[in-house]
Structure 1
Amino acid sequence: MVMSRSESHQRQKKQRSKRLRRLVVINGILLLLIGAAAVAYLVQRGGGGDKLDAPSNGNGTTAQDGAGNGGGDAPPAPEGDAGSVPDAPSENAGASNNGGADGATNGGTDEGNAGGGTAGDAPVNAPADTPTDAPAGASPGADAGTGAAGGQSGSDSSQGSAGNGGIAGPGEDTADLSFTGDILLAASVEKLMLKNGYDYPYAKVRNFLQLSDVTAANLETPVTLRGTPAPDKQYVYKSSPDALPALVDSGIDVVNLANNHTLDQGEEGLLDTIDYLNKAKMPNMGAGKDDTEAFKPVIKEANGIRIAYLGLTRVVPVGSWKAGKDHPGLAESYDPTRAVAAIKKAKEEADVVVVMVHWGTELADKPNADQTRLGHAYIDAGADLVVGSHPHVLQGFEAYKGKWIAYSLGNFIFSGMPDKRTADTGILDAACDAGGTCSLLLHPMRAVQSQPAPLEGAEAAALLKRISGISIHASIDSNGRVQMKE
């Protein structure tokens, strides 16, 4: 029987994971044997007339993961996208509807003027940010390399030094999940892919994306060859379906569509997006032909653990983008009632419930009151892990009732922007057991010309320290492990 690209990809991931675990076990046994031989040799020398004063000189060796100094020169910036508009409470006027093919003016940001449409919805004005593709002076890192946070302490250290991403606490009794921030496949990113190949954005992080059982991301663009550009919207995107095979092959397994760009090409573009993703065997959530489909989770299984992925957004440009009973659109969460009901239902169907939500204030380091309120409501309803996007910068983590909220994973693959913080990114690993308890590990990265790569040495340490400093009831150690604290 001929397997689909997605099925083949999943089988390859499982085979790689099994090979890796065997390699870790074999390396551990070899290290133990070498250590035992060394101790025996030293003991023999101490008691065998070699004129050693001490009965034993057996100093244990400590293997340390090398943290090389990253930092090559940043490549020159490609053609910039349109200029920047600072955060403002007013709606954005003026549209630049260039469909995303040439990327000259429709670059990377969200204006997301949240629309009304249902009672109690408070309009939210997410201002336009600014794409210029200016690199942030980052080290691109090695293709398979792991940054300073990539290795793990103890018996898992060989996994990190092997450059495969170092999943937090992997094992047969956990589901190893990974998450990225926003992915844009239009505008200047599309130009780079047409020049360098559709697999260009993933070249230096492929191992991180492929190692885990399930990798999820926010897809910040419609995928269509037609559609009508949204009016009165400063940035309007359109991605070619030709970019999807490389997305599937990268290691990404699930995408969230609940964001403020999925209907940039109208309902026609939204339905095309879902159709193209389904044909590519890429599970997706957060949008649909009606509200039932939009709020329906994607269910994945790993090591016997069922994981439900829900997509939600609190950034909706106009009320007509919200999914209704007989109306295509997004799963919105201004009023959390519908989201809470969907989470409770998903908890009945799965061991672990993950909420991927588009929310927050662009370019803000810390979550706003709505993010905190909704994040707590999701966990109170039964969510085990909440992963946010939209601010275009990394925000901190919060430990709440033994569960985790990652407020924003920032940009992952996106048009460049003048604020250097928008180039800082990462991949979040979560090892979750059947009871919904997850341990987290953040791999610090930086994107240069829309290509994320691991950070190392002082750059990795500085980024981890910054994110730790803005976290709530949580801290991040030098290895990238996210830990709860009072």
Structure 2
Amino acid sequence: MKTSQFTLLSLLIFPALMSCLGNNVVAEHASVVQDSLPKKTIKDTISITAVGDIMLGSAYPNKLGLPPDDAVNSFQQVQDDLHGDVIFGNLEGCFLNQGKSTKCSDTSGNSCFAFRMPERYAGIYKAAGFNLLSIANNHVGDFGAAGRKKTTAILDSLQINYAGLTSHPFAFFEKDSVKYAFCAFAPNENTVSINKIDSAKALVARLKSQADIVIVSFHGGGEGAKFEHVPRRNEIFYKENRGNVYAFAHAVIDAGADVVLGQGPHVTRAVEVYKNKFIAYSLGNFCTYGMFSLKGSNGFAPLLQLKINAKGDFLYADVISVKQDRINRLTKDENATAFKKMAALTDADFPGHGLRFENGQILLKSDLDKVPVQ
């Protein structure tokens, strides 16, 4: 008898069983029916492409902060590399056509940073392939509730998944029969707090019970070249507690997270594999225009192409190094600066890490001979 016929017959005879045999026997019969159903299987290899901060140009305090091509070519040099099941980035700012900043005055000049991308720029993210964005950061609230509300409404309309606000702490989405859960954290007002680790663990555990793969993003740590290393303590920057990113990343993996993706320092940081799960501690400035500093380390970043298995365990990653400057904007870096920096910082911050950095790839040393170099 086919499974579908058996299941239908079972449904028809359940009432009789209830009256004649009692609840215990019915429960046993239901278990047999369930066991006869096909088990869910998901793909062997899942591809997650991840980048750091993205802000394509701000019209505040005036339109001089917008790129000359109106941002349409922002991702042109890396478009072929933005592919995978999940394409992730950190949305550093809000989508809003007009309005005054709740953080900066119109006369603040260069001492205050408020990012308001024109609403039409959201379509550029969609066209580039991004299907997952973190909005947990220190710029999503630059224009108050109006900016947050408009941003979430636009992302909803474009069917781009997002999370990170207290009003939108997590998201579920499905791709090729894999159910993903995503949550994002930051130390900023109206975002889900990176500093409440117990609450973060509880949320991740709940999401893991309902999804195959859980991706966690955080915006934390000090900013700039002085903060390239991962300290195992709270990072205080401008008198603000930017979190203990090491403790946070390990805690959410303990709770069930499969991938942890960090931003915030505006520079590349180390990576780690903890309990077979991948952590990127900072993916740097990926595509930023206007008032972002691109000097030194701030001008280089990785484009991470991560591969995990059906259990969420790390397989390997390809790293494409990119760079930015005021004239050429986002381009590939033939010197692989971000990749080399990531390797050196991982050696320094996590001695005995068990990873190998070679030819633009991150491999487990134990699996070196199993993964073809591309």
TM-score, structure 1 normalization: 0.57
What is residue 431 of structure 1 aligned with on the other side?
307
What is residue 363 of structure 2 aligned with on the other side?
483
Q: Does 1:236 align with 2:114?
A: yes
Provide the rounded CA distance (Å) in 2 between the counterparts of 1:214 and 1:375.
Answer: 20
Within 5 Å, which residues of 2 pair with 1:172-321? 173-187=44-58, 194-209=67-82, 211-231=83-103, 234-287=112-165, 291=166, 293-302=167-176, 304-314=177-187, 316=188, 321=189
Within 5 Å, which residues of 2 pair with 1:70-469? 173-187=44-58, 194-209=67-82, 211-231=83-103, 234-287=112-165, 291=166, 293-302=167-176, 304-314=177-187, 316=188, 321=189, 329-363=190-224, 364-368=227-231, 369=233, 370-415=244-289, 416-417=292-293, 419-439=295-315, 440-449=317-326, 451-456=329-334, 459-460=335-336, 462-469=337-344
Deviation digits for residues 337-376 of structure 1 (CA, Å, limit 9, x no counterpart): 2211111011111111110110011111112321111111
SS at match of 1:294: coil
The AA in structure 2 aligned to 1:366 is H
**Cα 1:247/1:463, change in 2 over 3 Å:** closer
Using the TM superposition, give the Cα deviation of residue 217 of structure 1 relative to its aligned residue in structure 2, in angstroms: 0.5
SS at match of 2:95: coil
Identity %: 24
What is residue 50 of structure 1 aligned with on the other side?
none
Output the aligned Cα RMSD: 2.4
SS at match of 2:293: coil
Which has the larger displacement, 353-362 or 195-204?
195-204
Provide the rounded CA distance (Å) in 2 between the counterparts of 1:454 and 1:275.
Answer: 33
The AA in structure 2 aligned to 1:203 is Q
SS at match of 2:74: helix
Using the TM superposition, give the Cα deviation of residue 213 of structure 1 relative to its aligned residue in structure 2, in angstroms: 1.8
What is residue 78 of structure 1 aligned with on the other side?
none
SS at match of 1:362: coil
**Cα 1:313/1:269, change in 2 over 3 Å:** same
The answer on whether the counterparts of 1:174 and 1:305 sit within 8 Å (CA) in structure 2 is: no
Unaligned stretches of 5+ in structure 1?
A: 1-170, 322-328
The answer on whether the counterparts of 1:185 and 1:221 sit within 8 Å (CA) in structure 2 is: no
What is residue 4 of structure 2 aligned with on the other side?
none
SS at match of 2:297: helix
Using the TM superposition, give the Cα deviation of residue 474 of structure 1 relative to its aligned residue in structure 2, in angstroms: 4.9
Within 5 Å, which residues of 2 pair with 1:27-66? none
Provide the rounded CA distance (Å) in 2 between the counterparts of 1:301 and 1:331.
Answer: 25
Deviation digits for residues 213-258 of structure 1 (CA, Å, limit 9, x no counterpart): 2201100011112444123682112111011111110111111100
Provide the rounded CA distance (Å) in 2 between the counterparts of 1:475 and 1:448.
Answer: 31
The answer on whether the counterparts of 2:294 and 2:325 sit within 8 Å (CA) in structure 1 is: no
Aligned residues: 295
Using the TM superposition, give the Cα deviation of residue 454 of structure 1 relative to its aligned residue in structure 2, in angstroms: 2.1
SS at match of 2:279: strand
What is residue 112 of structure 1 aligned with on the other side?
none
Unaligned stretches of 5+ in structure 2?
A: 1-41, 105-110, 234-243, 367-374
The AA in structure 1 aligned to 2:318 is L
The answer on whether the counterparts of 2:268 and 2:341 sit within 8 Å (CA) in structure 1 is: no
SS at match of 1:177: strand
The AA in structure 1 aligned to 2:153 is D
What is residue 13 of structure 1 aligned with on the other side?
none
The AA in structure 2 aligned to 1:267 is A
Provide the rounded CA distance (Å) in 2 between the counterparts of 1:474 and 1:424.
Answer: 25
The AA in structure 1 aligned to 2:185 is L
SS at match of 2:68: helix
* Larger strand percent: 2
Deviation digits for residues 425-479 of structure 1 (CA, Å, limit 9, x no counterpart): 12111222221112222211112337322222xx12x542321111121545232
